[in-house]
Structure 1
Amino acid sequence: MRDGLQAYCRECSAEYYRQRQAAKGRTVREKIPVPRGSKRCPQCEEVKPHDQWEQNKSSSDGWASYCRSCRAERNRESYFRRKYGLTEAERDALRAETKGLCPICLAAPAVHVDHDHETGKVRGVLCFSCNAALGQFKDRPDVLRRAAEYLEGKVWKPILEAPGVYRLPS
């Protein structure tokens, strides 16, 4: 209008907008009142104070879209989907196969995804130490066998045949 005001109040305009969207088969999210210094998370649908949010200068209100806990959960899901092609349910199923224990040491909880570095194929879920050990041995079974024999007291001493050329005893 000429005086800078709308013809209808906010509530009437909002109701008219809802009706137009409903006629198009769309729904409009209900506006939930949030106290000053707080924000509502769209994932957990809880109103939380700003100290439970990350700052984001590029957003209109200066805070992240999701609270810290929901954001961490979304990032974790995205990481496993992107890196291993696994959903949370598939990872939980892998853990359930081993009753939650590492299948190598049978002592620690299995929480780390183990995969073949050549093919990228997921082999299972291991504890941190066993997963790191396989990585340190470069996923080579021959090296792991020699390590096991070393632990059992059968030390293999390589024989020098030429400078830089060693032969292992058979």
Structure 2
Amino acid sequence: MISRVRIRDRSKCRSYSATYRAKNLAKVRAANRRYAATCKDKRRITKLMMRYGLRPDQYDAMAKAQSYLCAICNKSLKLYVDHHKASGVVRGLLCRDCNLGLGYFKESPDALSCAAKYLAERHEMPLHEAQTRKREPNQLAFWSGEPVKE
């Protein structure tokens, strides 16, 4: 049986690793690609368990219950786990855009309802004259309204 020797000075180990990687960059990248290709499912399982405490069968059951659609926009895109940031409780599966949108609004129902109200009020709002006026192709300096002299 091979016993492991405890390395007391980790800086030597790190410097050796960095040196090896620098000298054998193509070899290291090829090994990383092989590992990533063979362990894709294992990484997915580990990520679900570590981040959200979900087993793959639980994720699949949630996706099936949602008909493999985003819980907000009902589009069939890749689904991401939506969870409460403070407690870690999983709420459902969302597409990337909806999940990021909730994050940008800091998961605040008040902010989201204000945004929905804003959109509803301004949905049919006419554009300002400056936004509707057609521009000639040679009017590149549109902020001044003067055509570019050639």
Fold match by TM threshold 0.5: yes
Report the TM-score range of the alignment, normalised by the length of the smaller protein. Answer: 0.5 to 0.7
1:55 aligns with 2:23: no
Which residue in the other structure is 1:122 paired with? Answer: 90
Q: Tell me the matched-pair count.
A: 95
**Deviation at residue 55 of structure 1 after TM alignment:** 2.0
Contact 1:111 1:128 in 2 (8 A): yes
More helix by share: 2
What are structure 2's unaligned runs of at least 5 residues? 1-26, 123-150
Q: TM-score, normalising length from structure 2?
A: 0.57
List aligned pairs for 1:1-170, cutoff 5 A: 54-55=30-31, 67-109=35-77, 111-153=79-121
Distance in 1 (alpha carbons) for counterparts of 2:63 and 2:97: 16
Give the structure-1-normalised TM-score. Answer: 0.51
Structure with the larger RCO, 1 or 2 (CA within 8 Å, 6+ apart): 2
For 1:102, what is the secondary structure of its paired residue? Answer: coil
Is the Cα–Cα contact under 8 Å of residues 137 and 144 in structure 1 kept in the other structure? yes
The structure whose Rg is larger is 1
User: 1:147 Cα deviation (Å)?
Assistant: 0.3
Cα distance in 1, alignment partners of residues 30 and 95 from structure 2: 31
- CA drift of 1:72 comes to 1.6
Deviations 1:136-162 (A, max 9, x none): 0000000000000000017xxxxxxxx
Structure with higher strand content: 1
CA distance, structure 1, for counterparts of residue 38 and residue 66 of structure 2: 28
The RMSD of aligned alpha carbons is: 2.4
Identify if the C-alpha distance between structure 1 residues 110 and 101 changes in structure 2 by more than 3 Å, giving closer, same or farther: farther
User: Structure 1 vs Structure 2: percent identity of aligned residues?
Assistant: 35
